[in-house]
């Protein structure tokens, strides 16, 4: 796998590739379709290997490089969106070096959205064990907002609830009460959902945090970044004929369609099974 074999020429008609460990990246896709309805998309949900959060960084990095290379090779994607904080926190720079097309992550856009929102300067960030453990948010905050107070908390288990389609059960509420307690005590006024699965738990998380805390996701801000980038690079697709949307899953494809459609909307009509390496 070398840059030479994976680099593709970026042209307007080619699709944008997006990936996540499972359904989470669909939150970003929703914003992208709404903002850029003419763009063709290929989405890869690694549902056969989720969750990424508890896995060692090295393993997640390997998955991310494998998927990025696959999307570039098979679909000649003109741009890749790493719609997974856990993968972005360990592999974004390597993907940029490897793929030869623009690669957009979710961490910087998410942090920017949170910083725009906070009034008190006390911001909570929640994510997987991998993301929070990587220090990616802490380092970014130190660099771009050294005077704000950032409180980070890992939320193991949240992703699994979403993947099972359990977004508002009593059990996930009990777990949220326990995991979010330190952030409530910290008195944050803004909570950044630093995992793309978490917007699907927004009702539960909002109930627990209380109405005075604003929940922020990276989805819209990431979509804005993608739009600005393709316009700047002159690679936005010109309208003319409907765009193509393809949905790929490494796990149970029937479940991917059933649950994915419920979470994303009618654009997700059918999915294809893809099995990667390991």
Query: What Rg, from alpha-carbon coordinates, does the chain have?
Result: 18
Return the number of the residue (102 or 157) whose C-beta is nearest ligand DGL.
157
Contact flag: residue 249 with ligand DGL (CB under 6 A): no
* Binding of residue 245 to ligand DGL (CB under 6 A): no
| Contact with ligand DGL (CB under 6 A) among 118, 134, 190, 196 | 196
Please identify, among the stretches 4-12, 173-181, 193-201, 204-212, the one whose residues bind ligand DGL according to the rule CB under 6 A: 193-201
Q: Which of 15, 17, 45, 53 binds ligand DGL (CB under 6 A)?
A: 53
Query: According to the binding rule CB under 6 A, does residue 167 interact with ligand DGL?
Result: no
158 token code pair: 């949240």
CA distance 144 to 131: 18
CB of 161 to ligand DGL, least distance (A): 11
Give yes or no: 195 in active site. Answer: yes
Task: Compute the distance between CA of residue 22 and CA of residue 159 in angstroms, rounded to an integer.
Answer: 9
CB atoms within 10 A of CB 266: 6
- Catalytic residue list contains 84: yes
Binding mask of the shown chain, residues 13 to 32, with x at each position contacting ligand DGL by CB under 6 A: -------xxx-x--------
Catalytic residue, chosen from 77, 84, 152, 155, is: 84
**Is 222 a residue that touches ligand DGL (CB under 6 A)?**
no
Residue positions annotated with a catalytic role = 84, 195
* Binding region for ligand DGL (CB under 6 A): 20-22, 24, 50-53, 84-86, 128, 131, 159, 195-197
């Amino acid at each position: 796998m070398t840059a030479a074999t994976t680099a593709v020429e970026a042209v307007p008609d080619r699709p944008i590739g997006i990936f996540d460990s499972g359904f989470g990246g669909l939150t970003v896709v929703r914003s992208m379709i709404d903002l850029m309805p003419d763009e063709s998309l290929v989405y890869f949900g690694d549902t056969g290997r989720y969750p990424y959060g508890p896995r060692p960084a090295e393993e997640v990095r390997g998955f991310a490089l494998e998927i990025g290379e696959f999307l570039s090779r098979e679909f000649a994607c003109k741009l890749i969106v790493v719609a997974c904080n856990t993968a972005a926190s360990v592999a974004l720079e390597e993907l940029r070096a490897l793929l030869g097309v623009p690669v957009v992550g979710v961490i910087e856009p998410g942090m920017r959205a949170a910083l725009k929102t906070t009034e008190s300067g006390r911001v909570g960030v929640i994510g997987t064990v991998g993301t929070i453990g990587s220090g990616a948010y802490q380092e970014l905050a130190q660099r771009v907002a050294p005077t704000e107070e950032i409180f980070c908390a890992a939320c193991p288990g949240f992703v699994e609830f979403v993947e099972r389609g359990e977004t508002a059960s009593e059990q996930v509420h009990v777990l949220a009460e326990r995991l979010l307690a330190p952030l409530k005590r910290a008195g944050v006024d803004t909570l950044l959902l630093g995992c793309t699965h978490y917007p699907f738990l927004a009702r539960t998380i909002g109930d627990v945090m209380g109405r005075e805390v604003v929940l922020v996701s990276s989805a819209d801000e990431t979509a804005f970044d993608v739009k600005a980038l393709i316009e700047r690079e002159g690679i936005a697709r010109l309208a003319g004929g409907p765009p193509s949307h393809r949905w790929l899953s490494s796990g149970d494809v029937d479940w991917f369609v059933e649950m994915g459609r419920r979470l994303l909307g009618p654009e997700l009509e059918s999915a294809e099974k893809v099995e990667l390496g390991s």
